[in-house]
Structure 1
Amino acid sequence: MVELLSVHKIWNHAPHNAFTDLLHTRGAWWCTFREAEGHGHGPASIRILRSVDGAEWNSVAELVEPGVDLRDPKLCVMPDGRLMLLTCANFIDDAGNYLTRSPRVSFSTDGATWTKPAKCLAEDHWLWRVTWHGSIGYSVSKLGIGSNPRRGFLYRTTDGLAWDFVTEFLLPNDTWTASETTVRILADGDMVALIRPDWIGVSPPPYVDWTFTRIDASLGGPNFIVLPDDTMWASARGKGPDGQAATLLAHMTRDSYTTALVLPSGGDCSYAGMVWHDDLLWMSYYSSHEGRSSIYLAQLSIDD
């Protein structure tokens, strides 16, 4: 049983606040997201908030690359204890037309002072989210503009700067739609991938032999976490009971995705950060159901 315990708005200072991630470390909460004039391409910065209790939030950092659209920031803790922020720099011309892109990575020891975003991988790649397993971090890069054809490549790193190719996601039936992807590693060592728009992948180590299942869902901004009992819970933009866009929470297995709850949301929304803390699921996400696209924080209980 899933129960929504609370949800509240934590930030809406920019005209458009979106694409969140959430982390709990060093006795505090950290939430990151993009600030811009709108959802589409245009100059944008990355904001980082900090909170001790999840109720009161303060801005501690802003990452800017002049004239560049920084999008989809993701936070993680590296094996050496440093904080790492992964984002993607999208380059646009004076008319706002997309030119090219490449991933960016920054590091911090305190969450407030960050290194200058450094380029990694080649042009047109977009590393989505890093999951660390011991000393190795894994991430999937989407390559290609538009929705089809688009290719997904699994990479690994030990320092966040140099990335080694592992494999390409070759979806069944000559399908070329792999996009935003979150990977996690289960207790038995298998890696699971939740792939936009509608795939779940599974592979044993060394993560080169994948089996893919197409699910009955259309995902935007997919994320999932593995709870201490090895169950998986996912979030993405999908459709609510009224058929309109909403931020969803779903129970997930190696080959299924079942909606369990629709969070207060609508319109331009989703891209959740997910953390299991003090036996509760904490989720950051963005939504425009109350007007301006804003950042929200929800607490949920999950019982067997």
Structure 2
Amino acid sequence: MYKKGCLKLFPGVVFCLLFYGNTILGANAVPTNNLQPGDLILMKSVPGKYHFYHLWPGNGKRADDPLKDAKEYFDNRIKDVSCPTIMVMKPDNPNGKAVIVFPGGGYSYLAARKEGSRVGEWLNQQGITAFAVKYRVPKRKGVNAPLQDAQRAIRFVRGNANYFGIDPNSIGVMGFSAGGHLCALTVHQFDKDSYSPVDYLDKVSCKPNFCILIYPAYLGERGKVSRDFREVKDSTIPIYVAISKNDPDISNVMSYVPILMKADVPYEFHVYAEGKHGTGLGGFPWIKACEDWLNSQIKSSGKKKLTLKLLEVKKIWDKAPHNAFTDLVRFHNRWFCVFREATSHVSDDGALRVITSADGDKWKSAALIKSKNSDLRDAKISVTPNGNLMLCGAEVIHAKPKNKYQSLSWFSKDGYTWSKKNKIGDANFWLWRVTWHKGKAYGIGYSCGANKRTLRLYSSSNGKKFDVLVNNLYDVGAPNETAIAFNGDTAYCLLRRDGKESTGKLGISQPPYTNWKWKDIGARIGGPQLICLPNGQLIAVVRLYDGGPRTSLCLINAKSGKLTEKLTFPSGGDTSYAGIVRHDNMLWVSYYSSHEGKASIYLSKVKLVY
């Protein structure tokens, strides 16, 4: 879909070519009252509600910055930046792609309105989530501060892809003038860190997936390309270049393009007959051609057929007589898997085990949560908006009080030390699983011990106090276990039923999630877990019953609701109850099974191939 070596000449013209879930990692949100002068200008330059984050932990400044005490100010342009930020601009209908925008200014100042926030607004109109970067200027002696900020910005966006609802493999960079030079550096030097790691986010790749250069500066000197750009490290990164014929940097850009051509990079190069340098969205008509280029990428990626390839399945825990009902999360660059340990499936001595691993291969116990007077069941784990782990489950009280069933939550900063239990939801409603979206937790509880089973939808801002959002969400066919996933603001609920009508259901709702439409998925399921890929594809891991119980990975058609089995994991007998995490273009799936004689915990890796 890319036009390789495309040089277009237009008669009468001349040659043609930040921002917003679950939890933010590696950076702090910047309160409105702490915004720097440049941030305030960016916020006021375009309508809408946007969010700002520091690029660096702590107070947002790097301790080794020789100009860390510089006082930022605005004089038609942003100057003396010592506290770099990233502004998140999210479109109404996101398509899963992201572009990180770097304004120009000769590395002396930032033209952050016409080459930053207004560019983000234009990207939003195409469904692209924009991230406008206020990087450090002016240049520092001995420190490449702009490149440090640029590499960190890419890691910040990719490391928080789930939070922002974007595809971590569809993150591009776009720069103007000096910002174009900076973007080119991220493409040609992604394999060389410009700073020492400061936290776990710096283990994330800083390689952009595509690059847009608008009247880029400093690519060379006197028509000879700079040594920084003479080697192409990855020839698969598509690059779009646009400049005017009378731009002072045209000869240097013309010396850069042959480097791309020789390396067989999928580039598109536009040169316009008339135009000016430093004009942002104006100056010469590059916008339409760039929109077409971006749309061709979106359409081509949307048409790619998804293939699921099972790479590995490994038993990771079997120390209790019965190990079952799992969930999985990635937190602080580690894996955490939770599940129930007990004597048997229905015994009254259940405890919740937390195990952890750095690589998914070697696992150790991090915690064991017990109760003297109840059986703990159905561990589920998530990351809260304030960066803590939340473990939830339910207890079956040993005594026989009126309220025998109670849902619970615990919290931890590290996965090893956990808080005391919190009672959540209503008594005798089993709150099955919690999903975080835009700072709120959503979960569905099913009634226990009642003559007729019903579902109740809850929401919470802190995971400790849950309010009823819908009192009777569904009550046909003995509904019980559920999983919720979001695609943008559209909520999907995968539902198990065990009554005379036993096929599962797919629920669909829009904010405020008080009205739901239900579609039959055409199969009986158990232990559902559901996620949504950035391209909108719903993926579920469930227990299927036809032909014998097994744990399977399935695709769900969001329009029809129909479920299609794609992969069967090694499993059988007492099995399923999975956790799913998408990481490194793979699905990591925890589940349990007794097919080898004892209910044990397994971890599988599934490659996503497009």
Q: Where on the TM-score scale, by shorter chain, does this alignment land: which range?
A: over 0.9
Partner amino acid, structure 2, of 1:180: E
State the 1:169 CA deviation: 5.0
Q: Hey, which of these two has a bigger chunk of strand by percent? A: 1
Aligned residue for 2:455, secondary structure, equals strand
SS at match of 2:390: strand
TM-score of the superposed pair, with normalisation by structure 2: 0.47
- Describe the shift of the 1:249–1:140 C-alpha distance in structure 2 as closer, same or farther (beyond 3 A): same
1:113 to 417, 422, 443: 417
The Cα offsets for residues 198-229 of structure 1, whole Å up to 9 and x where unpaired, read as 11100111101110012211111100111122
Do the aligned residues in 2 keep the contact of 1:151 with 1:176 (CA within 8 Å)?
A: no
Q: Where does residue 476 of structure 2 map in the other structure?
A: 175
2:465 counterpart letter in structure 1: A
1:128 corresponds to which of 432, 437, 440: 432
Aligned to 1:38: 344
Using the TM superposition, give the Cα deviation of residue 46 of structure 1 relative to its aligned residue in structure 2, in angstroms.
0.3
Q: Could you list the per-position Cα deviations for residues 2-52 of structure 1 after superposition, in whole angstroms to 9, with x for gaps in the alignment? A: 211000100000000000000011010000000000000411100000000
Aligned to 1:137: 441
In structure 2, the partner of 1:267 is: 573
Q: Return the match for 1:150 from 450, 453, 466.
A: 453
Is this contact kept in 2: 1:127–1:139, CA < 8 A?
yes
Amino acid aligned to 1:113: T
Instruction: Report the counterpart of residue 249 of structure 1 in structure 2.
Output: 553
1:238 is the counterpart of 2:538: no
User: Which position in structure 1 is the counterpart of 2:320?
Assistant: 14
TM value normalised by structure 1:
0.93
> What is the RMSD computed on CA atoms of the aligned residues?
1.8
Equivalent pairs, count: 296
AA matched with 1:150: R
Write out per-residue CA displacement over residues 69-120 of structure 1, whole angstroms, 9 at most, x where no aligned residue.
Answer: 11111111101001100010111359xx997110010000110000121212
Work out the CA distance in 1 between the residues paired with 2:321 and 2:588. 25
Deviation by residue 1:121-171 (Cα, 9 ceiling, x = unmatched):
22211111111112111000111338x721111110011111111114544
| Deviation sequence 1:233-265 (CA, Å, 0-9, x none) | 10111136xx11000110012212111111100
Aligned mates of 1:15, 1:236 — CA distance in 2? 23
Cα distance between partner residues in 2 of 1:98 and 1:296? 37
Task: Return closer, same or farther for 1:81/1:217 CA change in 2, 3 Å cut-off.
Answer: same
Please say if residues 327 and 337 of structure 2, whose CA atoms lie closer than 8 Å, have aligned partners that are also in contact.
yes
Give the unaligned 5+ runs of structure 2: 1-306, 498-503
The residue number in structure 2 matching 1:56 is 362
1:228 to 519, 525, 534: 534
Q: Distance in 2 between matches of 1:182 and 1:145?
A: 21
Structure 1 residues 224 and 111: CA distance shift in structure 2, 3 A = same
Is the CA contact (8 Å cut-off) linking 2:403 and 2:427 kept in structure 1?
Answer: no
SS in structure 1 of the partner of residue 362 of structure 2: coil
2:453, 2:521 → 1: CA distance? Answer: 18
Whole-angstrom CA distance in 2 between matches of 1:184 and 1:117? 26
Between stretches 267-276 and 83-92, larger displacement belongs to: 83-92
User: What residue is the counterpart of 1:186 in the other structure?
Assistant: 487
247-256 vs 69-78, which deviates more? 247-256
Separation in 1, partners of 2:510, 2:333: 34
Give 1 or 2 for the bigger CA radius of gyration: 2
One-letter identity of the residue aligned with 1:211: K
Distance in 2, Cα, partners of 1:281 & 1:28: 15
Matched, 1:300 2:603: no
Q: Give 1:93-112 correspondences, 5 Å limit.
A: 93=399, 100-112=404-416
Q: 1:201 is matched by which residue type in structure 2?
A: G
Task: Give 1:210's aligned residue.
Answer: 516
Letter in 1 for 2:411: F
Give the AA of the match of 2:586.
Answer: L
SS in 2 for 1:128: strand
Matched residue of 2:433: which SS?
coil
The alignment status of 1:196 with 2:499, answered yes or no, reads no
In structure 2, do the counterparts of structure 1 residues 98 and 258 end up closer, same or farther at CA, with 3 Å as the change threshold?
A: farther
Cα distance in structure 2, aligned partners of 1:253 and 1:66: 44
**Equivalent pair of 1:86/1:106 in contact (CA under 8 Å):** yes
Which residue in the other structure is 2:594 paired with? 288
Structure 1: which 5+ residue stretches go unaligned?
Answer: none
Residue 176 (structure 1) shift: 4.6
Contact (CA 8 Å) 2:403, 2:428: kept in 1 or not? no
Q: Which has the higher contact order (CA 8 A, sep 6+)?
A: 1
